[in-house]
Amino acid sequence: MAKKNKRKKKPVLQLLVVFDTNVLYTQVASDLVRAEVRDLIKGNSSHSDVSIKWFLPSVVIDERRYQMQIKAFELLPSLQKIEKLIGHKLNINKNILTQRINEAIQSELKELNLAELTIDTNSVDWKELIRRSSFREAPFEPGEKEKGFRDSIIAESFFQLINVSPATPSICRLAIVTEDRFLSEFVREKTSDAKNIRILSSLKELESLINTLVSKVTEEFVAEIKDKAEAYFFEPEKQDTLFYKENIQDAIAEQYSEELEYRPTEILTRENGAWWINSPVFLKKERQRVYWATQIVVDYKLYKFESQNIISLESPPDNLGAFNGLQYPVQNIRSTFLTGFPSPTLKKVEAGKGKTLFGIEWRVNITPNKKLTFSKIISINFIGDRRGEQ
């Protein structure tokens, strides 16, 4: 009896992702990575056709450890005030905080399945690295002060991962995500002949790459139509683009007025600034329909008003009553009763800044000659508020 020919199972594509510190940074002392990184990892942990492995170079983990320690140590004076207030020692010091941070890092690495990417120092060309440092060649920044040693270690760690990974693009892709221009330049220079290396400048670019691989469309296809999609969604003053035709700015302002007016306390005022429209992120392709996500970012600043005039009320008008010689802020006295008194002078002081993020999911049809037509807005979503970013 003849045996049936078994079809060979196509190997699962591996995507190896290495993160730089600037992509992870968050001002929250308890978190190793920021929320966007966490969401991206968790949302892409179980694809059937693409196996993704996430890496943090050892030097990146140590840098985040240092940043987290600095944030934690800033809280110690407040703890000392609490101890003084309650008359009880809480026994929290720098050693305790350092220990807890180390435990938090290990816990988060395990939870997100992030692997530590170690470096074999014996394989590093230290002579070449020193030369680049001396002459300020990438990844070192030009200037009087030398900056770029940690970036060099990140790059060397990535190169060593490349050397032990398959070089065939259909089997393995490697991506480094960094916002540092000089590190990107250095890695691009050293891997120019490789066909399976991607140097990405943002999480959005990484998300687009993952969606491309999962959707079984080529990177060339996405790259070819991405500029078209960006121009189709928005071009300044072009009223026939989707942003203007669908009145997206007005829709966001109406649907999310509370989010656009948010301030952490009522004593602050908020002023919204520029609206930024990011490049679209490819989501998927279904037949002739191509799905995208475009992020819109609204800058804002928070202000408080401080009085510059403090007047003495040792002899207040009769209708104000006796103040026992106290100094009293002008703005706390009703001006209708202050005939003859100087008008309050309020100084506007910046008290914070941030960004409010929205996501627009939309789709567009693509013709055989790659013309975009018949678009539709699927949803407008509030992503979050990022205090302290500008």
318-331 pLDDT, tens digit per residue, is 444 444 444 444 44
Q: What pLDDT does 144 receive? A: 82
Q: What pLDDT does 71 receive? A: 87
Q: What pLDDT does 323 receive? A: 41
**What is the distance between the alpha carbons of residues 61 and 55, in angstroms, rounded to a whole number?**
10
Whole-Å CA distances, 27 to 59, 106, 205, 219, 301: 19, 19, 23, 34, 18
Do 273 and 197 share a structural domain?
Answer: no
**What is the distance between the alpha carbons of residues 381 and 359, in angstroms, rounded to a whole number?**
5
Within a domain: 6: no
Do 194 and 98 share a structural domain?
Answer: yes
Do 339 and 358 share a structural domain?
Answer: no
**What is the distance between the alpha carbons of residues 110 and 118, in angstroms, rounded to a whole number?**
16
Whole-Å CA distances, 83 to 6, 76, 77, 86, 99: 72, 10, 10, 5, 21
Q: What pLDDT does 344 receive? A: 61
Beta partners for residue 107, in sequence order: none
- The residue type of 249 is Q
Do 81 and 121 share a structural domain?
Answer: yes
Q: Is 347 helix (H, G, I), strand (E, B) or coil?
A: strand
- The residue type of 295 is Q
CA nearest neighbour of 59 among 118, 133, 127 = 118
Number of domains in the chain: 3
What DSSP string describes 266-326?
Answer: TTSEEEEEEEEEPPPEEEEEETTEEEEEEEEEEEEEEEEEEE--EEE-SS--GGG---TT-
Within a domain: 278: yes
Q: What pLDDT does 11 receive? A: 67
Q: What pLDDT does 321 receive? A: 41
Within a domain: 30: yes
- The residue type of 158 is F
Within a domain: 2: no
Q: What pLDDT does 313 receive? A: 45
- Other beta carbons within 10 angstroms of residue 154's beta carbon come to 29
Q: What pLDDT does 49 receive? A: 79
Do 273 and 334 share a structural domain?
Answer: no
Q: Rounded to the nearest 10 degrees, what angle do helices 149-163 and 126-134 cross at?
A: 140
Within a domain: 1: no
Kindly state the tokens that stand for 200.
């990405």
Do 96 and 17 share a structural domain?
Answer: yes
Do 262 and 182 share a structural domain?
Answer: no
Indicate the residue among 190, 214, 238 that finishes a domain. Answer: 214
Do 274 and 223 share a structural domain?
Answer: yes
Q: Is 129 helix (H, G, I), strand (E, B) or coil?
A: helix
Q: What pLDDT does 174 receive? A: 97
Indicate the residue among 188, 214, 240 that finishes a domain. Answer: 214
Indicate the residue among 214, 246, 273 that finishes a domain. Answer: 214
Q: What pLDDT does 312 receive? A: 45
pLDDT tens per residue across span 54-77:
999 999 999 999 988 998 898 888
Do 152 and 250 share a structural domain?
Answer: no
Spatial neighbors of 7 by CB under 8 A, at least 6 apart, are none
Do 233 and 203 share a structural domain?
Answer: no
Cα distance from N-terminal residue to C-terminal residue, the chain? 72
Within a domain: 4: no
Beta partners for residue 366, in sequence order: 372
Hey, CA dihedral for 132, 134, 139, 141, is it positive or negative?
negative
**What is the distance between the alpha carbons of residues 355 and 80, in angstroms, rounded to a whole number?**
33
Within a domain: 164: yes
3-state DSSP: the chain helix, strand, coil percent, rounded to 5? 40, 25, 35
Do 362 and 294 share a structural domain?
Answer: yes
Q: What pLDDT does 337 receive? A: 46
Kindly state the tokens that stand for 219.
């990177």
The pLDDT tens digits along the chain (390 residues) read 455 555 555 668 999 999 999 888 777 767 899 888 999 999 898 887 789 999 999 999 999 999 889 988 988 888 888 888 888 888 888 999 999 999 999 999 999 999 999 999 999 999 999 999 999 999 999 988 889 999 999 999 999 999 999 999 989 999 999 999 999 999 999 999 999 999 999 999 999 999 999 888 888 889 889 999 999 999 998 999 999 999 999 999 999 999 999 998 888 999 999 999 999 999 999 888 999 999 999 999 999 988 765 544 444 444 444 444 444 444 444 444 445 555 567 788 999 999 999 999 999 999 888 899 999 999 999 999 988 755
- Domain, as residue range, for 257: 219-305+348-390
Within a domain: 3: no
Do 207 and 315 share a structural domain?
Answer: no
Q: What pLDDT does 328 receive? A: 43
